[in-house]
Structure 1
């Protein structure tokens, strides 16, 4: 059996930063400090006009290849997870493959998932390595959600930021490998976090779409809609038992795990999960303040930071968990 492990992670963030002070200046009627206490976000990186998730991802991969030159020759598969692709077709993964000049023997495909996208992609990549179909996989997570957000929607504009991360997955050894994973879906709640329009079901018409008022928020059907109460309830009810079941399946006690690296949804979500899982702050890191909610890139961005700070080392037992749009969730238990 071939076990997989994370070899390295590289990240790239847009240059432009939008602070809470900037937002307050634009919307003096918004209670930005109060909202920030719930979100935990002090600033977020915003992609430039014409700058896409693919552009951010390419920079992250080039950083990885610079830091680990052997990765360019080793890679045989690209999994690109995004909900903001450059085109309806071809997939971002194929375009990235061409930009990087990789061999024709390299497989490339997209995954259209949001906040659970990294842990889903990690599970798929580990399965490909286990089956012998792949040996070295690049998992690319990148989104430019700020291009899907109404400038007058306080519920999403204060929360999300843009960014990219690439994770190099390859063969593991006895001290560094993925132990297992679990995932799930509740499609009955698909409307709780969505962009209703802009695709085949509700195409964007040639005339401007009317904006709809939703409490203090204003958006069109082509903008992100998020039902915060439904998402919060779903997360609190689903994630803790899901984590306990994953640990139990691998004869692992909660205290055996050094760090729990969860999708950086918001401070409110993370505070509730930490309390329900009875975890201390040092075992439940977060980095929302400086980058916001970066969707599927949030876990690898956090992992990259924790490794750089020396808080995660080789052999440490970690638990990743992603949850969100779909609604979907997935978690991975691994020795880094």
Structure 2
């Protein structure tokens, strides 16, 4: 017997926005003098990174992405029942940046809105929340904005992370649809807070307040400099975490989905860097033709990498209606999350 038609959550549209500032490999070679421009590209897969202006916040990028979504005709602002803003670079400690964006975007005042403080796994977390709201009957149209300006946390003399990160935002419309099968999901999630010190901005929150001490720069053995107010990443530990946990998450997701890895049409993982992604692909034995990797013009944009990749793959005709796409986010926390998406 065919199952009854029910309300299911479906991704309807994406829109991405990049700030006007640029940081090229040639600039990094000149300023840092550690790697050549060619070596930076070979290692990271990145040629240029979008950089937000000093007075440009993640909310500004998210606002622009949402405005583009509305202008594209996917919906109008009055259609939105719930706004989710995922970022680790909010405008303020309080109020929630989602509340500021509700007003700025002209959304209805009976629209729900809150922030998710998640990094590279944040898009998948946002999808799960949106799906829950829609399929519980609490909302019909959810606007998920993922936006980060990590470059504001990076010390200009830190060669370890400055080669990787860019700033960007994505706006994703998730809507209710009558369907006889799920269009988003199943999901898997994972958390290991013991890894928190390996990817962190140590000072600036309530645990470690800003003081004269927190602005003092210290030099690593490799020559990189940073203060306690800057982003710190232990690259080796993060790589080990990803190669340990992500393959297990893929296996768990396939088990919940009820199909083998051969039934996945495309794999879109968090676009961290070329070296890490190639290590993952080889460990999982995924054909290159099914594995998306495109960091050249945007770099690692944290919570926005997966929707940017989904939009680019759709525009280039790589993913099409009916395709099954596995998305996996992983990083700061440690936090990871995966989902299956049926492209409409």
DSSP 3-state at the match of 2:33: coil
Indicate conservation of the 8 Å contact 1:12/1:165, yes or no: yes
2:227 paired with 1:212: no
Task: Give the equivalent residue in structure 2 for 1:298.
Answer: 305
How many angstroms does 1:233 deviate by?
0.5
Task: Give the equivalent residue in structure 2 for 1:318.
Answer: 325
Task: Give the equivalent residue in structure 2 for 1:333.
Answer: 340
DSSP 3-state at the match of 1:21: helix
Counterpart among 101, 119, 131 of residue 126 in structure 1: 131
In structure 2, stretches of 5+ residues that fail to align are 1-5
Task: Give the equivalent residue in structure 1 for 2:119.
Answer: 114
Q: How many corresponding residue pairs? A: 336
What whole-Å deviation, never above 9, does each CA across 1:233-292 have from its counterpart, x for those lacking one? 010010011111111112111111111110001111100111111111221111111100
Counterpart among 237, 240, 250 of residue 243 in structure 1: 250
Query: Normalising to structure 1: TM-score of the pair?
Result: 0.96
Indicate conservation of the 8 Å contact 1:179/1:334, yes or no: yes
Indicate conservation of the 8 Å contact 2:214/2:229, yes or no: no
What whole-Å deviation, never above 9, does each CA across 1:45-72 have from its counterpart, x for those lacking one? 0111201111011010000001125342
Task: Give the equivalent residue in structure 2 for 1:96.
Answer: 101
Q: Show the 5 A alignment for 1:124-203.
A: 124-172=129-177, 173-174=179-180, 177-203=183-209
Q: Show the 5 A alignment for 1:249-328.
A: 249-328=256-335
How many angstroms does 1:328 deviate by?
0.5
Taking the aligned partners of 1:21 and 1:289, their CA distance within structure 2 comes to: 14
In structure 1, stretches of 5+ residues that fail to align are none
Taking the aligned partners of 2:269 and 2:203, their CA distance within structure 1 comes to: 29
Query: Normalising to structure 2: TM-score of the pair?
Result: 0.94
RMSD: 1.5
How many angstroms does 1:193 deviate by?
0.5
CA distance 1:179–1:114, change in 2 (3 Å): closer
